[in-house]
A and B are shown apart, each in its own frame.
Chain A
Amino acid sequence: MSDSLIFSSAADLAALLSAKELSAVELIKAFLARIDAVEDRVQAFLHLDREDALKQAAASDARRSAGEVRSPLDGIPVAIKDAIAVKGQPLTAASRILSNFVSPYDATVTSKLRAAGAIVIGRLNMDEFAMGSSTENSSVKPTANPWDLSRIPGGSSGGSAAAVAAGESPLTLGSDTGGSIRQPAALCGVVGLKPTYGLVSRYGLAAFASSLDQIGPLGRTVEDCALLLQAIAGHEARDSTSLNEPLPDYAAETVQKPEKWTLGIPSEYFAEGLDPEVREAVEKAIQWYREQGCTIREVTLPHTHLAVATYYVISTAEASSNLARYDGIRYGVRAEGAENGIDLYFKSRGQGFGPEVKRRIILGTYVLSSGYYDAYYLRAQKVRTLIRQDFLNAFKEVDALITPTTPTVAFKRGEKAGDPLAMYLSDIYTISVNLAGLPGISLPCGFSQDKLPIGLQLIGRPLDEARLLRMAHSYQQAHRWSRQTPNL
């Protein structure tokens, strides 16, 4: 019973709670037991307050008895990436410089989850300050891919994806700046959605790149992601970039009858460099859509080859400024033995940041510095306009784009650690979506010969999550990839 429970969808679990076949306390205990059983190998969690989780579950049961269920997520565990503020819980962003920081306030998404009655649990591992694609940049420990413990789960939301894949939590929240939800979702065989920029409030997300960051859901099914998106999306006054548009009922829209969509295949995403097994799985998925009556069109996104450079100029520039506040003065770890106030900065930051973070801060500082601003930052912002225009042009012809999520399956731990640029280039299919502010979802579409998950990405028009979810859901209903579970 326990095994099928931990691998059930949140929607199914909600039905069990609703039918009173299960209490929230029993449910959370099942997941806590699973975490105890597999965490030694998966290492998805940085922190877990079991007492608090049980307390929340008990409160949910009390609400249910009193007939005061708050939402379909009432009583469902949602684990949180350690970059999102939960009042009274640590917020480390997997960095040494925040290793002792306890958040005195709730992120907007946290408040919304509480309002929905969800059980907010744990702090999930990530690349330090969301900078990375493998979770190897965590200052604490690496997370393992549950499908092959010698491989990385992807990043930066590696803990979020691994926890779902390993059955440790049915739902998790991650953040996506250049693919950090979609890529780990693909590598771990789960569903991950990056919403349209501005759909979900960023208030309470430790910022990496302000114009690119978005919080999003990860889960076993597309429907689950829709449920979680419903709970966290919406305009919010404390985030000035928050969009003020009416929200559809995502969960209801997801299960609507599929249509005969027109899907675009960007030729640049199927060029050399794409692993043959990934290509094959994605092409099979495209064929399936064709068989459902969808029209498949080749489109071109001509500025794709500039996306990685554009992304790394803009994101490092913004990050260099966003991370300036981490200095050990008001909070965080303060270095010892500083000679004076200024020396304190150098020491605390020198000791508190890992190498990838330092590299990106230096890069970002450089591209903004006097004499280089026009050549790098300003130019990258212009190329960004061209990249977005590519997508908007494509969307005149098609409803959505269908691509691989990653060029390869999960690589081995340490394989790319020595070459930062090689690591950056593996984000090629996800990065442009953030630059253009579009929604993107990754869902499982197969396995490699080595039984490693392969992800399919759908990219939509701004605020077109409902259609994307429906497209993804229709595919997932017809395939059994998500029913497979890792051998832990």
Chain B
Amino acid sequence: MALWLVCFALAIGATAFSVGGMSAEQPEIDIDYVANLARLNLTPEEKSRFSAQLENILGYFQKLREVNVDGVEPMAHAFAFDNVWQEDVPACGFAPEEALANAPAQRQQQIVVPKVVDDA
């Protein structure tokens, strides 16, 4: 499908969605849930702007459902090889000053963070 036609069609789709939706497969994104998982603060404006944009993009992702992937292996790596490892021989590390060189706050040679309330 022509690229610019795609853009045009999606633009139409996006408008239609914001008016009340006509495309059957427009996925919804619980942006609060996902932003929380990703530890991202979003302004209310960002939330509404991103929701619309992302749902548009997710709608585009539905293309992936058009193809039959039965029996197809997922491609986890560009090239398949195994057993990449190193012998257990110590190499040079950081001096503590290097490790903490970019630390925003430190005390007693450790990173300081505001009180963490629970255990992971």
Instruction: Check if A365 sits within 8 Å of B63, measured CB to CB.
Output: no
Check if A232 is an interface residue, CB within 8 A of chain B.
no
Instruction: Check if B54 sits within 8 Å of A351, measured CB to CB.
Output: no
CA distance A462 to B77 in the complex (A): 14
Instruction: Check if B114 sits within 8 Å of A362, measured CB to CB.
Output: no
Check if A396 is an interface residue, CB within 8 A of chain B.
no
Residues on the B chain within 8 Å of A331, using CB = 102-104
Given contacts A362-B54, A419-B7, contact A388 B39 (CB under 8 A): no
Binding site for A on B (CB under 8 A): 1-7, 10-11, 29, 31, 34-35, 37-42, 46, 50, 53-54, 56-58, 60-61, 63-67, 69, 72-79, 84, 86, 94, 98, 101-105, 111, 113-117
Given contacts A419-B53, A436-B78, 17 further A-B contacts (CB under 8 A): A102-B102, A104-B94, A104-B101, A237-B86, A241-B78, A241-B84, A312-B57, A340-B117, A365-B34, A366-B58, A369-B34, A381-B74, A381-B75, A383-B69, A428-B3, A437-B78, A462-B79
Residues on the A chain within 8 Å of B116, using CB = 340-342
What are 30 A-B contacts with C-beta separation under 8 Å? A102-B102, A104-B102, A198-B79, A241-B84, A273-B4, A328-B104, A329-B111, A339-B114, A340-B117, A341-B116, A341-B117, A342-B39, A349-B41, A350-B42, A358-B40, A359-B53, A361-B38, A361-B40, A362-B31, A362-B40, A378-B74, A379-B64, A381-B76, A382-B69, A383-B67, A385-B73, A386-B67, A386-B69, A420-B57, A425-B7
Residues on the A chain within 8 Å of B4, using CB = 272-273
CA distance A313 to B62 in the complex (A): 11
Q: Which applies to chain A's interface (DSSP): helix, strand, loop or mixed? A: helix
Instruction: Check if A303 sits within 8 Å of B40, measured CB to CB.
Output: no
A212-244 at interface with B (beta carbon < 8 Å): 237, 240-241, 243
Residues on the B chain within 8 Å of A313, using CB = 61, 64
Residues on the B chain within 8 Å of A420, using CB = 53, 57
Instruction: Check if A102 sits within 8 Å of B3, measured CB to CB.
Output: no
CA distance A386 to B73 in the complex (A): 9
CA distance A407 to B4 in the complex (A): 10
Instruction: Check if A380 sits within 8 Å of B64, measured CB to CB.
Output: yes
Given contacts A101-B102, A237-B86, contact A382 B72 (CB under 8 A): yes
A240 to chain B, nearest CB (A): 4
The list of the 7 closest CB pairs from A to B, nearest first, reads A350-B41, A273-B3, A437-B78, A381-B74, A331-B102, A341-B116, A272-B2
CA distance A437 to B76 in the complex (A): 12
Find the A residue at minimum CB distance from B41: A350
Check if A26 is an interface residue, CB within 8 A of chain B.
no
Residues on the A chain within 8 Å of B6, using CB = 273, 425
Instruction: Check if A305 sits within 8 Å of B40, measured CB to CB.
Output: no
Find the A residue at minimum CB distance from B29: A366
CA distance A379 to B63 in the complex (A): 11
CA distance A306 to B67 in the complex (A): 9
Counted as pairs of residues, one from A and one from B, with CB atoms less than 8 Å apart, the total is 183
Check if A288 is an interface residue, CB within 8 A of chain B.
no
Check if A47 is an interface residue, CB within 8 A of chain B.
no
Find the A residue at minimum CB distance from B102: A331
Instruction: Check if B67 sits within 8 Å of A388, measured CB to CB.
Output: no
A367-394 at interface with B (beta carbon < 8 Å): 367, 369, 375-376, 378-386, 388
Instruction: Check if A338 sits within 8 Å of B114, measured CB to CB.
Output: yes
Residues on the A chain within 8 Å of B113, using CB = 329, 341, 344
Instruction: Check if B67 sits within 8 Å of A358, measured CB to CB.
Output: no
A325-350 CB mask vs B (1 if < 8 Å, else 0) is 00111111110001111111111011
Given contacts A353-B40, A358-B46, contact A334 B64 (CB under 8 A): no
Q: Among A344, A361, A379, point to the contact of B65 (Cβ < 8 A).
A: A379
Instruction: Check if A341 sits within 8 Å of B72, measured CB to CB.
Output: no
Instruction: Check if B102 sits within 8 Å of A330, measured CB to CB.
Output: yes
Instruction: Check if B37 sits within 8 Å of A369, measured CB to CB.
Output: yes
Check if A211 is an interface residue, CB within 8 A of chain B.
yes
Q: Among B3, B39, B77, B103, point to the contact of A346 (Cβ < 8 A).
A: B39
Check if A309 is an interface residue, CB within 8 A of chain B.
yes
CA distance A381 to B77 in the complex (A): 9
A90 to chain B, nearest CB (A): 11
Check if A66 is an interface residue, CB within 8 A of chain B.
no
Residues on the B chain within 8 Å of A273, using CB = 2-6
CA distance A328 to B6 in the complex (A): 40
Residues on the B chain within 8 Å of A422, using CB = 7, 10
Check if A285 is an interface residue, CB within 8 A of chain B.
no
A461-477 CB mask vs B (1 if < 8 Å, else 0) is 01000000000000000
